[in-house]
Amino acid sequence: MSDAQLNVRAVSKTFSLGGGRSLKAVEDVSFAVEQNSICVLLGPSGCGKSTVLRMMAGLEDPTEGEVTIGDKTVTGPGQDRGMVFQAYTSFDWLSVRKNVEFGMKVNNVDAAKRRERADHFLDLVGLSKFADAYPSQLSGGMRQRVAIARTLANGPEVLLMDEPFGALDAETRWLMQELMIDIAEETNTTMVIVTHDLEEAIFLADKIIFLSSHPGRLKEEIIPEFKAGKRIGDKERIIRMDGYSELEEKLMRLMREEGHRET
Ligand SMILES: Nc1ncnc2c1ncn2[C@@H]1O[C@H](COP(=O)(O)OP(=O)(O)OP(=O)(O)O)[C@@H](O)[C@H]1O
């Protein structure tokens, strides 16, 4: 596949720790994210997943290398990319609908269009009935759905998500993962998702980028071949498919190797 929308090219990141000390968090990482695909960044804690995602978002500058979207180099945040974090980032003094309209309002989208788009994305994430509620009245999973709807309503080409379901209980997490498959199918948004949850990675990914730790290097690029290029929106089904357990075992082995390397 050569229709990559996003390219991470030979990217390294060294953080200055003060007092003349520095930490190389990411070293010479390259990979491509194809248009309309879901790419999962996986690896042990501290391997640099968030740092790579933040460079894609333009929130950190690479020390070496570059991130490109189409033929443009990323030099800072931009409306072509939307970001969803683990922590709920809703505006608690605004209703759910106003939360989703927020970015559009900043961009001077007219009121009728804002409302129409907000209602569309609230429907997509299953929150139409809660449009007039306030975030404090919602569960964690619902608040994260507000954040996703708000980000999608701004029309990004790429959705960047950093452990988006990390704070949720197992059952809600499961439902959110299934929802993300529906959203990817419906909106054709390219997604890059950071996780350290193996099951989440296998379920969501068209491609898994596995990073090794200290510094984060590309250890393996894995296509879950057993899905045969299709997205399976049903977790119970995917877990029973031939090839699922083999991939899970492989990822567990990679995680264990990297865990041992750290100690
Ligand atoms: N702003 C910063 N200044 C200094 N060091 C940093 C900074 N941000 C990240 N690091 C370091 O870079 C390394 C990679 O961090 P990063 O958060 O990208 O890893 P991660 O794989 O996302 O971890 P986790 O899964 O635990 O969230 C870590 O050693 C971290 O301490």
Place of tokens 């640099």: 48
Q: What is the mean pLDDT of the chain?
A: 91
Pocket test for ligand 1, best of 12, 22, 41, 51 (most atoms within 8 A of CB): 51
Separation of 143 CA from ligand 1 center, angstroms?
26
Q: Is residue 159 part of a domain?
A: no
Kindly state if the Cβ of 213 falls inside 6 Å of ligand 1. no
DSSP 8-state symbol, 258: H
Mean pLDDT across 126-140: 93
Q: Is residue 251 part of a domain?
A: yes
Q: Is residue 115 part of a domain?
A: no
Q: Is residue 235 part of a domain?
A: yes
Write the residue with the smallest CA distance to atom 12 of ligand 1. Answer: 25
Kindly state if the Cβ of 13 falls inside 6 Å of ligand 1. no
Q: Is residue 110 part of a domain?
A: no
Q: Residue 158 — pLDDT band, cuts 50, 70, 90?
A: very high
Q: Is residue 4 part of a domain?
A: yes
Q: Residue 69 — pLDDT band, cuts 50, 70, 90?
A: very high
Q: What is the pLDDT of residue 260?
A: 63
Write the residue with the smallest CA distance to atom 28 of ligand 1. Answer: 46
**Amino acid of residue 105:** K
Q: What is the pLDDT of residue 240?
A: 92
Q: Is residue 1 part of a domain?
A: yes
Check pLDDT > 80 for residue 170.
yes
Residue 252 CA: distances (Å) to CA of 14, 46, 73, 208, 217: 28, 17, 35, 13, 18
Number of domains in the chain: 1
DSSP 8-state symbol, 216: B
DSSP 8-state symbol, 74: P
Q: What is the pLDDT of residue 173?
A: 87
Interatomic CA distance for residues 63 and 60, integer angstroms: 9
Q: Is residue 256 part of a domain?
A: yes
Check pLDDT > 70 for residue 1.
no
pTM of the predicted model as reported, rounded to 2 decimal places: 0.93
Q: What is the pLDDT of residue 261?
A: 62
Q: What is the percent of the chain where pLDDT is above 90?
A: 71
Count of CA atoms in the C-beta half-sphere (13 A) of 122: 20
Global ipTM: 0.97
Mean pLDDT across 142-161: 92
**CATH number of domain containing 33:** 3.40.50.300
Mean pLDDT across 11-32: 95
Domain that holds residue 216: 1-76+192-263
Interatomic CA distance for residues 5 and 204, integer angstroms: 18
**Amino acid of residue 23:** L
Kindly state if the Cβ of 195 falls inside 6 Å of ligand 1. no
